[in-house]
Structure 1
Amino acid sequence: MKSVILASQSPRRRQLLEQVNIPFSVVPSSVEEIVDNTLSPADIAMSLAKQKADEVFKRYPESVVIGADTIVVAQGRILEKPSDVQEAYSMLQVLSDVSHSVVTGVTINSHEKTVTFYEETIVHFYPLTHEEIERYVSSGEPFDKAGAYGIQGLGAALVKKIEGDYFTVVGLPIAQVVRTLKKFDIYQTSSN
């Protein structure tokens, strides 16, 4: 069986692949991401996922490589990972009491084929007070996450409801990934 490589150092993506018993190794992409802001959010997420997968695939052409990228879109703005406390605070103010879109693009590459797709989930936040935002930002959780929150961590307390796939918000639409990997003859292993 071909080896599977996750082209991401995200611990959340790693946990999701482990959760569904897909054997894999991690080789983070070192590509300098190029964003074409004329594209739709879905196309941007898929383009970034493909850039990551392609870069790692060039180094490991006998493997099946999974690249992924998650973006948060609110009020027509793409909210990337915040660079500092003020930016994290500002992003959370934007998300307070509104719905936003989380799009995760995925590319799976092998020598035989490449499949690229995306999933989109709508997330509704509760109204957030100044104190709630400050407390959450001071936890440190927002800083390595698009949109400045992690739904799988302390950020769960900010979310009123979601419409769509929870795992898309975490960073990898795992059910769709598992189904797509079957096209590459990669299957889940038995439980240990």
Structure 2
Amino acid sequence: MNDLSGRGILLASNSASRRAMLDAAGIAFEALGADIDERALEAEMDGAEPGEIAQALAAAKAAAVSDRRRDALVLGSDSLVEVAGRRFDKPASREEAAEHLRFFSGQVMTLHSAAALARGGQIVWIGSDFARLRVRTLSEDFIAAYLAAEWPAVAHCVGVFRIEGPGVQLFESIMGDQFTVLGMPLLQVQEALREAGTLLE
């Protein structure tokens, strides 16, 4: 691995899943959370496609951290969930998480994941992907037991699940890249990092 700054990249996120992906891929990084108002940005983009909003949020995170560390290559990422034409954010409470799961039950969830790279405060690359996940019919007993086991860990997850954990029990089928489901289009990110000279060709 070869990084032009000698420090790897900066990940503009405190997401455990995204950190684990980069660790597993052998990509050196430092995590530095982005301080942006995600809900305000979403409100400004009301009416836009979920994929576009995910890209805008990823870019905003990368740019915010890049403004603070202008010498580094910064990776921002974001995910949005859409079910039956309705966009869902992370649940604010366990009760809201249960409401989301009831709504998801028996439906197809579209998960949009986006990533962006910034350097010197400027966005230099944006990528995105989506996956479709069919949620099985969820009983009230299952929802209660699931949240008893997974809350508050899934409070930080759009879709109220960790696919690498018990969240896999929500689904009948999944169509899409596993990294996209985990929250970042990692294969696209790796190619962009190669083009930037951060990963070896």
TM-score bucket of the superposed structures, by smaller chain: over 0.9
Shift of 1:153: 1.2
Aligned residue number for residue 132 of structure 1: 142
* Dislocated runs of 4+, deviation >3 Å: none
Partner SS, residue 159 of structure 2:
helix
Query: Is 1:99 matched up with 2:108?
Result: yes
Shift of 1:113: 5.9
Q: Distance in 1 between matches of 2:90 and 2:170?
A: 17
Aligned residue number for residue 76 of structure 1: 85
* Amino acid paired to 1:168: T
Structure 1: state its 5+ residue gaps: none
Identity of aligned residues (%): 27
Scaled by the length of structure 1, the TM-score of the pair is: 0.93
* Amino acid paired to 2:166: L
Aligned residue number for residue 37 of structure 1: 46
Query: Is 1:56 matched up with 2:65?
Result: yes
Shift of 1:142: 2.6
Contact residue 151 and residue 159 of structure 1 kept, 8 A: no
Aligned residue number for residue 89 of structure 1: 98
Query: Is 1:47 matched up with 2:45?
Result: no
Aligned length: 189
Q: Distance in 1 between matches of 2:162 and 2:88?
A: 13
Structure 2: state its 5+ residue gaps: none
